[in-house]
Structure 1
Amino acid sequence: MTDMDVESLPDDAAQLKSMMKQLIREHQLDKEQLEHRLAMLLRSKYGPRSEKLDPDQLKLFDLGREDVDETGDEPAEEDDKPRPPRLGHGRRRLPADLPRTRVEHELPEGDQQCPCCGKTRKRIGWETSEQVEYEPAKLYVIEHARAKYACGDCEENVVTTPKPAQPIDKGLAAPGLLAAIAVGKYGDHLPLYRMEEILGRSGLSVSRSTQCDWMRRIAELVNPVVSRMKSEILASRVIWTDDTTVPVLDPTQSKTKTGRMWVYIGDLRHRYAVFDYTPDRKGARPREFLGEYSGYLQADAYSGYDQLCDHGNMTEVACWAHARRKFHEAKDSARVGATHALNLIGQLYGLERKASKLDAAARRQLRQKHAVGKLEAFASWLDQQSVEILPKSPLGKAINYARNQWTALCRYTEDGELSIDNNLSERTIRCVAIGRKNWMFAGSDRGGQTAATLMSLIATCKLLGVDPYRYLRVLLTELPRRQTDHLEEFLPDRWLQAHPEAKLTDHGKQK
């Protein structure tokens, strides 16, 4: 109710009582919403980011603990097979493929004498230990010497051996240096001014503006490969997608504007990750990328995806991790109801641990047999709570979110290739969130497109376990010398088949 003049209040006691009840309900709701916002702000600044569910809470409210998932990602259901022992915190054995240099240490001659008889002691073996050394990146100059020929009689008609095609024509940087800068910025999240300092310590002075131009040039070179990856993704039965913000310098003002970076990931037969930069978040942006795609689209609850699925050939698959997060945020104001919902969602994730070890057909069968019944019970609980809980309360908003997305949330049980959540794309697009904390912003919309192209290759390498530096170095060496109508061999997964030595080991996996 709005503020009103005292004189306008009714004289009837029943009406006054009704108005007071409504005012008290509104005041209580406003208080709960303010307390919820305060709790969320304090948790985001000082609290843990984990969404673990304390199992003791389930005992307190007599909710049981069947198949409870404590993390939202990893279900807590026990596996039939014994788990491998956890690695200790001690020193691990060094990789066998690291180069080794043997340094032998001999006793001084004075210490080789036996203290008993005075004779020289004989060496009976070696006691070895290992230590890791590090050398900074090594720069060297490639001097291209091109033979020149001329007629011996007329001393004319001079011809010079052509120089092999380079990633940047007449450019200073060779493929290895370009690959190192690209992986440094878009894989290791190093801003170009830090790369400038790193290269400077090795004896090379290259400004960040020059490096920025290099990145733009090689992005244009490799763009046909990324376009081919996009075509492969659009042939998938399932596409995972997500988006996040990117600050971009606005040339018309002395501040940044907000651009968007989208990621699209194909299924296991087309496991590529392609980023797409757009200057805004209009619903037309994913439509421009996806075109006439027909298949499953696994995403969050962004309304632009709803429009695509309502008016196209795409089928929406929602994310249980997003639904779970809503209930987790409501725990402070409605602990019993939110904890009960988290327990039910945990049971669904508990089934997914067992399902993850099965093929698609068996996974679907397991979900149909066990998950469908749990979802029906969950739906009944949501319907009951929607009548009793205030819709604008934190728990009410979580319930409404789940009910509004319910059909899409249950769709993962229809096909074994679908996922229970959209965490695959969220993990992949995390490189943008980490990167913008370091390089802060893109210099322009064109810079955002450059970042999207190079991130596509590096993120795909991460998904497939490919060394991104070795891949990019070969790509930037070979692509200028090849025809762009034969790009299959340059796709990261097919390139890895021909170069298995570029497979990342457990020690070389990116974070």
Structure 2
Amino acid sequence: MDALPDTIDALRAALIEARGRTAVAEADAAQARAERSGDQALIATLKLQIEKLQRDLYGRRSERTSRLLGQLEFQLEEAEASSSEDDLAAEQAAKATGQIGPTRKVPTRKPFPAHLPRERIIIPAPTVCPCCGSTRLCKLGESITETAERIPARWKIIQTVREKFSCRDCETISQPPAPFHTTPRGWAGPNLLATLLFEKFGQHQPLNRQCERFAKEGMEISLSTAADQVGAACRVLKPLIDRLEAHVLAANRLHGDDTTVPVLAKGKTDTGRIWVYVRDDRPFGGEAAPAALFRYSRDRGGGHPEAHLAGWAGVLQADAYAGYNRLCDASRQPQPVAEALCWAHARRKFFELADIAANKRRGKAAPPISPLALEAVRRIDPLFDIERETLGRSAADRLALRAERSKPLLDELEGWMRAARAGMSKHAPVAKAMDYMLTRWDGFTRFLRDGRVCLTNNSAERALRGIALGRRAWLFCGSDRGGQRAAAMYSLIVSAKMNDIDPQAWLADVLARINDLPQTRLDELLPWEWKRLHQTTTAA
């Protein structure tokens, strides 16, 4: 061990030197942590990109793909946040020692949208040269740094003044007519009404939470007043909902599905149903705009879809729910509905019996993996790969490709399933999964006879996703009337999303104009027509 200095000055110098070495070591350690965090963020980014590319190239490899992508995105978010935090710590440590800070390569930021307004803040330029003090300066150019900023919600009260005049000759008093109000008593403007509706039904924020936020922003609105405006706005939008329903039911092919909704009852909560019927012709290159029609019922009786689709005939894509059977009855008027069943539902029954990862999580209580179920999944997956190649093609092209490549696979699948099923007990889980398909084989193979039919019912499931995600936020419908109102608003909001427009901006414009438009022009407010007219006006 080196001898310690024997004088105070020498000790002071040694202490300063040791502190310097400690600071350098801390700066190096901070930079190492920043580099490690940057590497972890890069790894997370590349993992997410690889998974997305594999999904695009080879299709969904398992039912866990969507969960895996969500997990990877969350890991990327955490890694990027940790990397930025460590970078700042390393920069501060490097400044203290005079070292060069970390040089982590960050992703290139995309330019800000051109349509957003720009606010110029000009920093005053020097009036004299900082080098020689001369005042003879000439401008060479400018450097612009853009920063995104969000302006919090602002409230304002619009005063509409109607002046009165009296005629000096005949003493008649004249005054301009009262302005149009979206709802009776008209204290809420169209943008406020659109916010109430979209937050409640599109973002699943109950009115009491919205009113709490409004109060913090300086505008107190009682819950009963907000609810009154929601009911009035729904009534105003009723003619548009009727036109949306007519558009959906004019299709020759629909996707159908339903999900549960809690409904408040006396001293308890009942389970109601939200039904959806989706018109989406995009998979076979159809020109009709996509749209969704929602309906509410207190139970899941088969009479509800029969009433919803009374007078409609065509192909209904859905799961094998017995409540649709009366729609397919040969005696139905005007004619029976053709049934097209969902292969995603059928595959899931096999996948659950062959999910190795899920069994590993369950441990000793897990049922044994079924080799037959695993083989069924292996035989079904190529059908999905072929179907992805048909997206966007015409119905005739889809039909030709399916006849060439999908039909031989289906014939082999059917023969293998019937041979395997013959040697099993009817109580075997994999036998039940096979029976689900074999007893309904005509519905599962309808896509071979009609190029418009899709392999899955995912369009309807996507339309219901928002309800499933929002149930924990709004807890329950207050009544059957509330369920019907919710279904009507879901029809509008989901249809707007399917047409790639902002539902809140669209609702605000619709509410501002709907009572002024003649009935013959109401179609202009439908989401796809509104989008087309808006794009035409913007281009002009």
| Superposition TM-score tier, normalisation by shorter sequence | 0.7 to 0.9
Greater alpha carbon shift after TM alignment, 190-199 vs 117-126: 117-126
Which residue is 1:184 aligned to? 199
| Cα distance, 1:68–1:158 mapped onto 2, change above 3 Å | closer
Q: Establish whether residue 246 from structure 1 lines up as the match of residue 281 from structure 2.
A: no
C-alpha displacement at 1:431, in angstroms? 1.4
Which residue is 1:134 aligned to? 150
The one-character-per-residue Cα deviations of 1:73-107 (angstroms, maximum 9, x if unpaired) are: 99xxxxxxxxxxxxx96533322222222223357
| Cα distance, 1:259–1:484 mapped onto 2, change above 3 Å | farther
Which residue is 1:498 aligned to? 533
C-alpha displacement at 1:204, in angstroms? 1.1
Distance in 2 separating the partners of 1:68 and 1:124: 54
Q: Establish whether residue 306 from structure 1 lines up as the match of residue 325 from structure 2.
A: yes
Q: Establish whether residue 330 from structure 1 lines up as the match of residue 353 from structure 2.
A: yes
Which residue is 2:510 aligned to? 475
| Cα distance, 1:203–1:502 mapped onto 2, change above 3 Å | farther
Distance in 2 separating the partners of 1:186 and 1:68: 33
The one-character-per-residue Cα deviations of 1:264-317 (angstroms, maximum 9, x if unpaired) are: 112432522111111111111111111011100011111111221124321011
- Code of the residue aligned with 2:405 in structure 1: it is H
Q: Percent identity?
A: 36
The question of whether the paired residues in 1 share the 8 Å contact of 2:183 and 2:232 is answered with yes
The question of whether the paired residues in 2 share the 8 Å contact of 1:184 and 1:190 is answered with yes
Distance in 2 separating the partners of 1:123 and 1:459: 53
Q: Establish whether residue 158 from structure 1 lines up as the match of residue 177 from structure 2.
A: no
Distance in 2 separating the partners of 1:67 and 1:403: 28
The question of whether the paired residues in 2 share the 8 Å contact of 1:144 and 1:163 is answered with no
C-alpha displacement at 1:403, in angstroms? 1.7
Greater alpha carbon shift after TM alignment, 449-458 vs 99-108: 99-108
Q: 1:247-262 alignment to 2 at 5 Å?
A: 247-250=262-265, 253-262=266-275
The one-character-per-residue Cα deviations of 1:233-257 (angstroms, maximum 9, x if unpaired) are: 121110111111111111xx12221
Q: Establish whether residue 397 from structure 1 lines up as the match of residue 415 from structure 2.
A: no
The question of whether the paired residues in 2 share the 8 Å contact of 1:372 and 1:413 is answered with yes
Distance in 2 separating the partners of 1:497 and 1:270: 11
C-alpha displacement at 1:501, in angstroms? 7.3
The question of whether the paired residues in 2 share the 8 Å contact of 1:249 and 1:257 is answered with yes
The question of whether the paired residues in 1 share the 8 Å contact of 2:260 and 2:272 is answered with yes
Q: Establish whether residue 98 from structure 1 lines up as the match of residue 111 from structure 2.
A: no
Q: CA RMSD in A?
A: 2.7
Which residue is 1:214 aligned to? 229
Distance in 1 separating the partners of 2:111 and 2:307: 50
Which residue is 1:3 aligned to? none
| Cα distance, 1:406–1:502 mapped onto 2, change above 3 Å | farther
Q: 1:392-471 alignment to 2 at 5 Å?
A: 392-471=427-506
Q: Establish whether residue 113 from structure 1 lines up as the match of residue 130 from structure 2.
A: yes
Secondary structure, aligned partner of 1:344 = helix
The question of whether the paired residues in 2 share the 8 Å contact of 1:329 and 1:394 is answered with no
Residue 194 of structure 1 is aligned with which of 196, 209, 213? 209
Secondary structure, aligned partner of 1:330 = helix
- Code of the residue aligned with 1:113 in structure 2: it is P
Distance in 1 separating the partners of 2:386 and 2:220: 56
Q: 1:63-82 alignment to 2 at 5 Å?
A: 69-71=60-62
Secondary structure, aligned partner of 2:246 = helix
C-alpha displacement at 1:108, in angstroms? 6.7
Q: Which has the higher contact order (CA 8 A, sep 6+)?
A: 1
| Cα distance, 1:404–1:210 mapped onto 2, change above 3 Å | farther
Distance in 2 separating the partners of 1:68 and 1:95: 32
| Cα distance, 1:258–1:126 mapped onto 2, change above 3 Å | same
- Code of the residue aligned with 1:164 in structure 2: it is P
Distance in 2 separating the partners of 1:73 and 1:176: 40
- Code of the residue aligned with 1:287 in structure 2: it is E
The question of whether the paired residues in 1 share the 8 Å contact of 2:370 and 2:430 is answered with no
Distance in 2 separating the partners of 1:67 and 1:480: 51
Distance in 1 separating the partners of 2:218 and 2:297: 38
C-alpha displacement at 1:326, in angstroms? 0.8
- Code of the residue aligned with 1:137 in structure 2: it is A
Distance in 2 separating the partners of 1:68 and 1:379: 23
Larger Rg, first or second structure (1 or 2): 2
Which residue is 1:381 aligned to? 416
Secondary structure, aligned partner of 1:381 = helix
In the comparison of the two structures, how many residue pairs are matched?
421
Distance in 2 separating the partners of 1:73 and 1:465: 27
| Cα distance, 1:336–1:501 mapped onto 2, change above 3 Å | farther
Q: Establish whether residue 291 from structure 1 lines up as the match of residue 314 from structure 2.
A: no
The question of whether the paired residues in 2 share the 8 Å contact of 1:328 and 1:342 is answered with yes
Distance in 2 separating the partners of 1:423 and 1:382: 25
Which residue is 1:237 aligned to? 252
- Code of the residue aligned with 2:211 in structure 1: it is E
C-alpha displacement at 1:320, in angstroms? 0.7
Which residue is 1:62 aligned to? none
C-alpha displacement at 1:141, in angstroms? 1.2
Distance in 2 separating the partners of 1:473 and 1:501: 19
- Which structure's residues are more often helix, by fraction? 2
Which residue is 2:279 aligned to? 266
The question of whether the paired residues in 1 share the 8 Å contact of 2:395 and 2:451 is answered with yes
Secondary structure, aligned partner of 1:265 = strand
Residue 321 of structure 1 is aligned with which of 344, 348, 356? 344
The one-character-per-residue Cα deviations of 1:442-494 (angstroms, maximum 9, x if unpaired) are: 11111111111111111100001122122211211111223445432222212
Where in structure 2 are there 5+ consecutive unaligned residues? 1-50, 66-105, 282-287, 360-367
